[in-house]
Structure 1
Amino acid sequence: MVDNPIECAPFTIEDPNEIQTEILEVCRELGLLEKCCGFVVDGDMAIDWRPHYDEKHDVSNSGTPEFMSNALLEQDNGIIHSPMDDYWSFYFTAQWACVFRKSLSGKAKRDPRKLENLRSLLASLLRGIATKKILDEPSYGSFLTSLQPFLSDWNQALKVLLRDWQKERLEANPEEIFQADAFRRYADRGLLSFLKVARQYYPTKAV
């Protein structure tokens, strides 16, 4: 356990490109400062990373299925884990948190009857159906209903980004699309698209 927080140098981007410059600007508009607090969880499950890269690994993509991207769930050996998979995982995790919010427990009074069915769908192989219901049906309680516009815009932004990624992957040399610069570019674009959606729904606190 760590008794005292560990301070690190303020976050900076040296010589930011156009997208990174916009990321920093939107962060300032949202009141996101350079300092942050972090915490470590599941320390008891930690591994010694030093021999990790010398070990032999199979080609399967591991993870929690409920939060994995559709591409990784297909277990196609030709799929390489990309920033797109990480952003979809971020989205599905947030979606899960909204639907399984404790105050919306199925045993609570005035809880929509459809909510338990929605949770069952979300925890099954029918996540796509559940996602569509979450975005389209205003019958799951005030909390989830209030978040539908945000989730919908975020979902659409990810779909646009995914189409661009797939298009570039098809048109480019297969050996080039998976270079570090392509991963970095889409990591930046994914972060910027999320921040722009967040900016639409949260009061800005420019600093």
Structure 2
Amino acid sequence: MAILRSILFYPVFYGVSALLVVASVLAIPFGRSRLRHVVATWGVWHHWCVTHLLGIAIIQEGVIPDEPVLIAVKHESYFEAIDMPRLFGFPAVFAKKELFAIPGWGFSAKVYGLIPVARDGGARALRTMISTARARIAEGRPIVLFPEGTRVVHGDKPPLQSGFAGIYKLLGLPVVPVAVNSGPLYHRIIKQSGTITYRVGETIPAGLKRAEVEARVHEALNALN
């Protein structure tokens, strides 16, 4: 059954996704609100395909505070990356700079307002990221990042990337850690049915020392391991 579900999922989801990428580029001349609508449609479409075609239930434990916060999300698969627009509305997500080179998608991502991350760019790149993030905060948008820096196998607990502490300090925002256990079901060619859970951790105040904030975020991100 899992094989049949996956065989159906790939052409249906990615086929419509390709059309939505084209639609996102065509929407850009009509303003960011039109582009936002296309991206939101993509998130909803992905959610529908995951729940109806793959048989995966998605639940959320806890609520994201309705205030400016830095949302730190566990990253186990593409599931949560694609789900961000549905989960957070109009998020400004820190994303690898290389992704912006993808034809069509990259241009739309830039206009949408994702924040490029140049991992080897040094202090200058960090200043650019912070400046861009502050502009998104001024727009009232949630700021989202994956502090482990890349996808992690479920059960692994790598340390947070060093850039997380700098972003936390320079933005001066509280942190909301969000654990997710998508890996065992979604991060595989033959995807499995079951339940993916988001667990929203306790809000961590701004201004903590690096060791303390990293320890608290790390513990919360791995709450579903």
TM-score by length of 1: 0.28
Higher strand fraction (1 or 2): 2
TM-score by length of 2: 0.27
Higher helix fraction (1 or 2): 1
Give the structure, 1 or 2, with the largest relative contact order (CA under 8 Å, sep 6 or more).
Answer: 1
